[in-house]
A and B are shown apart, each in its own frame.
Chain A
């Protein structure tokens, strides 16, 4: 991995699906330049796009289009990404397991599950409208 100063940035994304890819491309561009392997970039892309998509689809109060805040910090050994919306939040414990017999044929409901599977750490604020995800780069896994 190339040497790099820490990269930190805050972005506000309009609450529209078409802006998701532009945001993830910016983050992935940094990671590619730093030599982060493709498999890890795939996981990070999926997690951040799913988180922003959830914020756009479920975050803003009905009838309102409020921007989603994304903050990312890239260090030598990890990336931390926060996604925050202005919605009422949600209770992670109420998200059903998409792998069960009752849910496997459902079309939706896999986004949050995948975020948890692909990132090393995932935490929510108390209100449930901000998720912070961490991925450690090769050889420095934060899994416990």
Chain B
């Protein structure tokens, strides 16, 4: 699960790739733990390359969000596939997360 991170207009944009599931979730958590440790203020996770997520992946995002909130960091998600987005909707996590359709929209909205 490679995650490339780029700085754009003061926002750390994290490009997630592949499946976020029980196998890859610990690695994903590790990457975002480092971002949390650095107390990054504005972080966007671009999910364009993520085709599949399971309950472990959703749990990882909830944990990451909690860690961001603990120090006042802002976390947004963008470019979710229709199926991945539907899981956020079914579980009502869409109400917890700030989700944008595109990266541009998300960066502007910070």
- Whether the Cβ atoms of B96 and A104 lie closer than 8 Å is yes
- Whether the Cβ atoms of B62 and A107 lie closer than 8 Å is yes
- Whether the Cβ atoms of B83 and A17 lie closer than 8 Å is no
* Chain A residues near B62 (CB-CB < 8 A): 105-107
The tally of CB-CB contacts under 8 A between chains A and B is 54
Q: Does A111 contact B (CB under 8 A)?
A: yes
- Whether the Cβ atoms of A17 and B55 lie closer than 8 Å is no
The smallest beta-carbon distance between B47 and chain A, in angstroms, is 15
- Whether the Cβ atoms of B66 and A104 lie closer than 8 Å is no
A interface residues, how many (CB within 8 angstroms)? 25
In the complex where A104-B93, A104-B96 touch, is A17 in contact with B66 (Cβ < 8 A)? no
Residues of A86-144 contacting chain B, CB below 8 A: 98-99, 104-111, 113-114, 117-118
- Whether the Cβ atoms of A20 and B59 lie closer than 8 Å is no
Residue of B nearest to A39 (CB): B83
The smallest beta-carbon distance between B65 and chain A, in angstroms, is 8
**Pick the contact of B91 from A21, A49, A114 — CB < 8 Å?**
A114
In the complex where A49-B21, A105-B62 touch, is A42 in contact with B55 (Cβ < 8 A)? no
Q: Does A33 contact B (CB under 8 A)?
A: no
Q: Mark A45-66, 1 if CB is under 8 A from B, else 0.
A: 1100110010000000000000
Q: Does A18 contact B (CB under 8 A)?
A: yes
The smallest beta-carbon distance between A71 and chain B, in angstroms, is 21
- Whether the Cβ atoms of A20 and B92 lie closer than 8 Å is no
The smallest beta-carbon distance between B108 and chain A, in angstroms, is 27
- Whether the Cβ atoms of B54 and A108 lie closer than 8 Å is no
Cα distance A71–B58 in the bound complex, in angstroms: 27
Q: Mark B90-110, 1 if CB is under 8 A from A, else 0.
A: 111101100000000000000
* Chain B residues near A17 (CB-CB < 8 A): 22-23
Closest 7 CB pairs of A and B: A107-B59, A110-B55, A111-B55, A99-B92, A42-B83, A117-B90, A107-B63
Apart from A49-B54, A99-B91, A104-B92, 13 more pairs, CB < 8 Å? A42-B52, A42-B83, A46-B52, A46-B54, A53-B22, A104-B96, A105-B96, A108-B59, A110-B58, A111-B55, A114-B90, A114-B91, A117-B90
> A interface vs B, CB < 8 Å?
17-18, 20-21, 39, 42, 45-46, 49-50, 53, 98-99, 104-111, 113-114, 117-118
> B interface vs A, CB < 8 Å?
21-23, 52, 54-56, 58-60, 62-63, 66, 82-83, 87, 90-93, 95-96
